[in-house]
């Protein structure tokens, strides 16, 4: 399979800021890192929460930012007004499909149900060999640590293969996350061939 250079990263994250400033700081730093690396940020299109913070930070650094938002959320005036491109979809399902198609890698920051939905869907597609794109979690304040323990429990109980447990990277800082994505993208992926 041909390797490809990461040119766009899809960001899954909260439409809220969370209770601690570290979440906002990490989202902003990731937006700046992507912009400085000339990587397009593809996200859910909202101006609120961590997604808005990451988009604003990338835009402030001159980065390219594309939002993908369902029409009903745009109509609620949740769409970010200053993006390079805003793509309107009819449904949430279509939104996720557009983001998956446009991205070369996927990153999940802390968030709620929507973030979990997006992360697990793209991870499932990777498990099913529907894509070979890198996936990473930004574990700010160890937000995802309980979920990671749950995934380990799934392996122990025989519901996830250990090879699939390793289909995504986990980093504690935006800088280390970007380094992991670059490393993951540059390696030839052999893991699924051995399943």
- At 23, list the tokens: 């979440």
> Regarding beta strands 40-43 and 135-138, do their DSSP bridges make them parallel or antiparallel, or are they unpaired?
unpaired
Alpha carbons 93 and 95: distance in angstroms, whole number: 5
Give the tokens for residue 20.
């601690």
Q: Is residue 2 part of a domain?
A: no
Domain membership of residue 1 (yes or no) is no
Is 22 a member of any domain?
A: yes
Q: How many domains does the chain have?
A: 1
Q: Percent of the chain having pLDDT more than 90?
A: 85
CB of 127 closer than 8 Å to CB of 167: yes
pLDDT value at position 183? 79
Q: Is residue 32 part of a domain?
A: yes
Averaged pLDDT for residues 50-67: 98
- Its pTM stands at 0.91
Please indicate, yes or no, if residue 106 is contained in any of the structural domains. yes
In angstroms, the CA 27 to CA 109 distance is 7
Residue 130's pLDDT is 95
* Residues 6 or more apart in contact with residue 157 via CB below 8 angstroms: none
- Range 45-74 average pLDDT: 96
Instruction: Please answer whether residues 165 and 151 qualify as being in contact, where contact means their C-beta atoms are separated by less than 8 angstroms.
Output: yes
Range of the domain at 23: 8-194
- Band of residue 187 on the pLDDT scale cut at 50, 70, 90: low
- φ, ψ for residue 132, nearest 5 deg: -125, 25
Let me know if residue 115 belongs to a domain.
Answer: yes
Q: What is residue 77's predicted lDDT score, i.e. its pLDDT?
A: 74
87: left (phi over 0), alpha (psi -120 to 50) or beta: beta
Would 166 be classed as within a structural domain?
yes
Tell whether 25 is covered by a domain: yes
What is the CATH classification number for the domain harbouring 22?
3.40.50.450
């Amino acid at each position: 399979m041909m390797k490809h250079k990461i040119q766009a990263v899809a960001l899954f994250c909260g439409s809220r800021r969370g209770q601690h400033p570290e979440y906002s700081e990490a989202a902003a730093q990731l937006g700046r890192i992507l912009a400085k690396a000339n990587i397009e940020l593809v996200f859910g299109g909202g101006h609120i929460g961590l997604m808005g913070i990451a988009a604003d930070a990338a835009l402030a650094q001159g980065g390219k930012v594309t939002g993908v938002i369902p029409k009903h959320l745009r109509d609620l005036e949740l769409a970010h007004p200053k993006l390079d491109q805003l793509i309107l979809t009819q449904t949430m399902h279509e939104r996720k499909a557009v983001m998956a198609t446009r991205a070369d890698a996927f990153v999940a920051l802390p968030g709620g149900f929507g973030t979990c939905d997006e992360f697990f869907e793209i991870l499932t597609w990777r498990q099913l060999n529907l894509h070979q794109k890198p996936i990473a979690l930004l574990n700010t304040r160890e937000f995802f640590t309980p979920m990671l323990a749950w995934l380990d429990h799934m392996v122990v109980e025989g519901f996830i293969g250990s090879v699939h447990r390793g289909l995504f990277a986990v980093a504690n800082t935006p800088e280390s996350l970007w380094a992991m994505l670059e490393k993951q993208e540059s390696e030839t992926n052999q893991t699924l061939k051995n399943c």
